[in-house]
A and B are shown apart, each in its own frame.
Chain A
């Protein structure tokens, strides 16, 4: 996989610190599965957490804390350790998303959103929304800006917008200061995972017409 668009440092720091909403964290985990470059950067962002943990002002535990944990160690020994292996999948999906969907992209109950656009809402808890979007060739998503952050991971196909060309494995990491209008630029559907931490704001007439229905 030839990945040329990566996360913003600030996004990896939010993931490392555990402060991303669930859907955005899922999306980050998916890209990490594909991207050794971002895995290395995440290790750096987590090392900040390690250094901060080492230098925090310690707080005493209850007097019997060590004893009660020590008493539990032997019990722990008796529980067989689950063997955790990286999930092997025959699909083109990154393992975390496959784990969540339990099927591949072609067997999903896609719902029509508008001309050439289908979606699946992942119905994750927390602020914002997480959904899969399938956009037909030549179709463009209405011009929109973002109230918060929007992460997009391309799973299949490609699109082009004001920032360049995005194909499978690439992420677009956008915040409220940008306005963009992606257009699918090959004869293949473009399927992407989109996670936001606040509602999108569509601009222009098309956006105003479409937003109440999309509810993105």
Chain B
């Protein structure tokens, strides 16, 4: 009697179900955001708020905003989600990436104390590498897994850059390493994450 086989099979089945669930959950955010633009359904907005607003507040706080401002900007970002939902394109980015860029732009405006120009990129030319929505979702899942496998010193510069909005020179000063090392760690992290991005191509 072989005990290993059914056990191994079960574990794999459980893993793949967990993967499916995770994917389904994430699929929902992009799908919900797309439907928000069409339906203007406040219940859909509330569900996006419940998931994203506390993450935005955490992100904005880490960027160095005082708590009251972080609260205010997180709410403002969610209002932008409502206002600009029609501009979300699930073929170009996932919901969390799009919401990340909205919040980032609001924070840049706040820090500069003046309205930064939002540069609309040209839309006209069809991108031969255009991904469909499904691909973006798989990508983001992979990206998250890949971030978890980065060596500590690469994860650290990624966090200082994205979560804390530090410039390369500020990171170099803070860590006491040359500017070139900050950039090479970021490059290494990016190429590792890109390898995950491109795995299925």
Residues on A lying within 8 angstroms of B by beta carbon are 8-10, 13-14, 16-22, 25, 29, 32-33, 36, 39-40, 43-62, 65-66, 68-70, 72-73, 76-77, 81, 84-87, 95-96, 99-100, 125, 127, 148-149, 175-177, 197-198
Contact = CB atoms under 8 A, between A and B. Distances in A.
Contacts of A87: 120
B61 A59 contact: yes
6 contacts: A36-B127, A53-B52, A59-B57, A60-B57, A69-B79, A127-B167
A49 B143 CA distance: 10
Contacts, number: 209
A58 B123 CA distance: 34
Contacts of B82: 73, 76
A176 B168 CA distance: 12
Contact of B96 (A16, A51, A76, A100): A51
B126 to A, nearest CB: 10
Given A46-B100, A49-B97, A96 B117 contact: yes
A88 to B, nearest CB: 10
A197 B187 contact: no
A50 B98 contact: yes
Given A61-B53, A175-B180, A17 B162 contact: yes
Interface residues of B, number: 81
Interface of B: 26, 40, 42, 45-46, 49-50, 52-59, 61-62, 70-71, 74-75, 78-79, 82-83, 86, 92-94, 96-101, 103-105, 107-108, 112, 116-125, 127, 129, 136, 139-140, 143-144, 147, 158-159, 161-163, 165-169, 179-180, 182-184, 186-187, 190-191, 193-194, 197
B179 A148 contact: yes
A47 B117 contact: no
Q: Is the interface of B mostly helix, strand, loop or mixed?
A: helix
A108 to B, nearest CB: 19
B83 A81 contact: yes
Q: Is the interface of A mostly helix, strand, loop or mixed?
A: helix
